[in-house]
A and B are shown apart, each in its own frame.
Chain A
Amino acid sequence: MNAQNVNNAPKVRKESKNKIRVDFERTPLKERLKAKFLSMFFVKKVLWYIIRLVLLIGISYIVLFPFFTWIAGSFMAPEDFVDVTVRLIPKNFSLDIYKAIWTEQHYMQAFGNTLLLSASTAILQTFICTFVAYGLAKFKFKGNKFVFMAVIFSLVVPHQTLQLSLFMSFRYFDILGIFSFLNGGGITIPFTDITFLEGVVDIIPETWEKFTADGITLTNTYWPLLIMSVCGLAFKNGLYIFMLRQFFRGVPDELEESAYIDGSGIMRTFFTIILPLSVPMMITVFLFAFSWQWTDEFYTGLFFTTTKTVLMPKIVGIPTSLTTDYAGQNLYYSAIRNTCGIMIIAPLVVMYLFCQKYLVQGIERSGLTAD
C-alpha cells in the first residue's frame, strides 16, 4: 500500500445507525473540463460536426432552391419580370397564373384522370411485384433463375428502344392472334405474311369500332398501362421486383415453416404473415410507382395521342389569357411553366410528407445484399 492509494481511498463516514456516507476524492472540475474539451478527440468531433452540417445544409439548399424560385415566380405579376430590382420576393402579388392554369388548362380534369391512372397502376404494380418477388425469393422451382434473368432483362432494355413496337402492339393489340381470328382475320403464321382461314369466324359485330382486322385499338385508353402493370412490365418494375426480392430473402424461413407446420397453406401464409410484414417496403414501392407514373410523360405521350384525355403532363403550357409580347416574355413564360410544375407536384409533396418515413424504413429493414 503506497501513499497515493491511501489518499484516493474513499472516505467512509457513519451518518446514522443504518446509513453510511461514502465520499470519493474527485478530480477538480477545471481539470475534468480541460480533459474533456481540450483533447484532440473533442476538437475533431466538433470540426467534423460543423463540416457535416455545412455540407448537408448546402446540398439541401441546392435541392430546394429551384422550388423556391418556382414558388416565388408563381406569385409575380408580368411587371415584376422586367423590374430589375425584383428577384425572389414579388412586388406586385398576383394569383393570375394559378387561376389561368386552374380554369384554362383543365387542372381538375387532369388531376382526376391522373389520380385514377396513377393510383390504379401503382396499386397493381405494388401487389404484382410483391407476388413475383416473393415467388422468386422463397421458392426453389425449376426456372427460378431464368425468371429472375427475365426480370433483369425487362429492366435493362429501355422502353425508348421499344417505343415503336410498344405503340404498334397496343394500337393493334392482340394476344396470339385471337382477336384478329375472332374478327375474321384468319390465322397468320408468326413473322410471315401467310394467312389462312380468313373470314371463317367473324363474331365481333361491326359496330365495335375498336376492333380492327389487326387487333383491338387500345391507344387513348388506360388499358396499355394497366395491362403492363398487371404483368409487372411497366416502368422500372424490374427494380421494384429486385428490391422486394432482396427484402423477402432477409425474412427468416422459420416464420413460414412454423406456419406450414401449423397447417396453413402457401397462400394463407403469404397473406396473413408475410404481407403484413412487408407493408413499409410495399409503401416504398407504391410511392415510387405512383409518383413516377404521376409525372410520366413518355408513356402518356406515347399512348395518348389525342387531347381528349387530359393528363398532368398536358397541362404544361401557356394559357391563352396570359400570352404576351412584352419584354420579359421569356421569364414570364418560364414562370408559368414552373407554376404548372408546382401544381403537378403539390399532391406528390403532400403524399411524400406522409410516406417518407416508410421510404427510409422500408429500405433500411430490407437488409439488401448483393448476392
Chain B
Amino acid sequence: MTTDIKVKAPKRKKSASLDKRKARGGWLFVLPFVIGFILIYLPIVIDSIRYSFYTIKVLAGGGFELIPAGWNNYNEALFVNPDFVETLIQGLGDMVFDIPMILIFSLFMAVLLNQKMAGRAVFRAIFFIPVIISTGIVGTIEAQNTAGDYMESAEGIDDGSGTSTASEIVSAMDVEAMFSGMAVGQGLVEYVTTAINNIYDIVNRSGVQMLIFLAGLQSISPAIYESVQIDGATSWETFWKITFPMISPMILVNAVYTIIDSFTAESNVVMSFISGIYQQANGNVVSSAMSWMYFLIVIAIIAIVAAVFSAFVFYQRRD
C-alpha cells in the first residue's frame, strides 16, 4: 500500500508543476529581450530624454560633461530655430497625404496579387524587390539619380540641374481634362496627379504593407467566397461586403505601421531636418529635444488613428 501513495504523490506534483514549468519556459524565451530592454534600451531612452535638458561637452580626456540647461533646448527648437515649426507642419501634412495613398495602393495590389493568374510568382517577386533593396544607402542613391531622370525623359538636353519636367508620367493638365466633366474639385485632381507621379515612391514604401495584406487575404476562408458566389454576388459586392470587413483588422495594423514607418524613415522631411541639426554640431542636443517633441505628436496621431479605425474594424468571431 505504501508504494501506491509514493507513486501518487509525485504524479500530482508533476502535473501541478507543468504550468509553472511552462511559465518559467516562457520567461526563458523572452529573457534576452527583457534583459536588453531593461539594461540597455531603457537607459538609452531615459538618457535621450535627459540629454534634451542638458548641453553636452565632450572632454579631451575621453569623457563627457553635462551642463543642465532646463527647457532651453525646447525653447530654442520651438521659438529660436526659424525652420523647425514650419518643417514639422510640412512633415505632418505629408503624412496625412501619404498614408491613405499607401494603404489604398497596398490593399489594391495585394488583392491583385492574390488572384490566380499566369506569372503571379514573377510579379510578386518584382513587387517585393524595393522593400528588400531600396532602403538605406540605396534609397539615398536613388534620390540623387539624375542620370536616370535624364534617360527617362523623352526630350531635353542636360541643363545640369537634372530636374526635367518631361519625366513626369502624367501632368495635371491631362487629368484635369479627364475630370472636367465630373464635379470634382481641384484638390482631388492634384492629389491624383501627385500620387501617379510619386508612384515609384509609393510602391517603394508599401512593400511590408502588401505582405501583411496578402497574409490577411490568405486567411479568409474560401468557403465564404464560394457561398456568396452561389448567392449571385458580383465581384464588386464581394469585395465590399466580404473582403473589406474581413481585412479591416489588417487595415488598422497597416495604418499604424505606415505612420511609424513614414515618420522614422530617413526620407521624412522632419527626420532629415533633425539629423541635419544633429550633424551640424556633432551631437547637438537640440536635435534630441526636437525629436522627442516630434515623437510625442506622432504618438498622439497614432492614438487618434487607432481609436478612429478600431471603431470600424470588424472582428470575425472564431469558434
Interface residues of A (CB under 8 A from B): 49, 52, 55-56, 59-60, 62-66, 69-70, 72-73, 81-82, 84, 87-88, 128, 131-132, 134-136, 138-142, 144, 147, 150-151, 154-169, 172, 175-176, 191, 212-214, 217, 227-228, 230-233, 239, 241, 260, 266-267, 270, 287-288, 291-292, 294-298, 312-313, 316, 328, 330-332, 334-335, 337-338, 340-341, 344-345, 348-349, 352, 356-357, 359-360, 363-364, 366-371
> In this assembly, does B250 line the interface, its C-beta being within 8 Å of a C-beta of chain A?
yes
Task: Give chain A's interface secondary structure class.
Answer: helix
Contact B132–A214 (Cβ < 8 Å): no
Q: Are A69 and B22 in contact (CB under 8 A)?
A: no
The CA of A169 and the CA of B51, in the complex, are separated in Å by 12
The answer to whether B137 touches A363, judged by C-beta atoms less than 8 angstroms apart, is: no
User: Is there contact, CB below 8 Å, between A135 and B133?
Assistant: no
Residues of A within 8 A of B124 (CB): 356, 360
| Residue in chain B with minimal CB distance to A214 | B63
Q: Which residue of A lies closest to B199 (CB)?
A: A62
Given contacts A233-B37, A297-B137, A331-B162, contact A162 B45 (CB under 8 A): yes
Interface presence of B158 (CB below 8 A): yes
In the complex with contacts A63-B127, A88-B151, A297-B140 CB distance below 8 A: yes
A81 B138 Cβ-Cβ under 8 A:
no
- Are A131 and B136 also in contact (CB < 8 A) when A84-B157, A141-B23, A341-B141 are? no
Main secondary structure of the interface of B (DSSP, over half): helix
Q: Give min CB distance, B58 to chain A, whole Å.
A: 9
Decide if A364 touches B218 in the complex (CB within 8 Å): yes
The total of Cβ contacts below 8 Å across the A-B interface reads: 302
Task: For chain B, give the interface size range.
Answer: 35 or more
Shortest CB–CB separation between residue A208 and chain B, in angstroms?
A: 13
Given contacts A62-B199, A191-B50, contact A73 B32 (CB under 8 A): no
B27 touches A135 (CB 8 A): yes
Q: How far is the CB of A217 from chain B (nearest CB, A)?
A: 8
Q: Are B137 and A69 in contact (CB under 8 A)?
A: no
Query: Contact at A63–B264, with CB atoms within 8 Å?
Result: no
Q: Residue B152 contacts which of A69, A81, A213 (CB distance < 8 angstroms)? A: A69
Interface residues of B in 110-149 (CB under 8 A from A): 112, 115, 117, 121, 123-130, 132-133, 135-142, 144-148
Asked whether B30 lies within 8 Å of A147 as measured between CB atoms, the reply is yes
Q: Please state if A165 and B51 are interface contacts (CB–CB under 8 Å).
A: yes
B34 at the interface (CB under 8 A from A): yes
One of B2-10, B90-98, B285-293 at the interface: B285-293
Closest CB-CB distance, B29 to chain A, in whole Å?
A: 3
**Contacts A140-B23, A157-B295, A169-B47; is A233 near B135 (CB within 8 Å)?**
no
Chain B positions within 8 Å of A140 at CB level:
22-23, 26
Shortest beta-carbon contacts, A-B, top 6 = A231-B36, A139-B26, A135-B29, A370-B249, A295-B136, A158-B264
Are A59 and B127 closer than 8 Å at their CB atoms? yes
Contact B158 A328 (CB under 8 A): yes
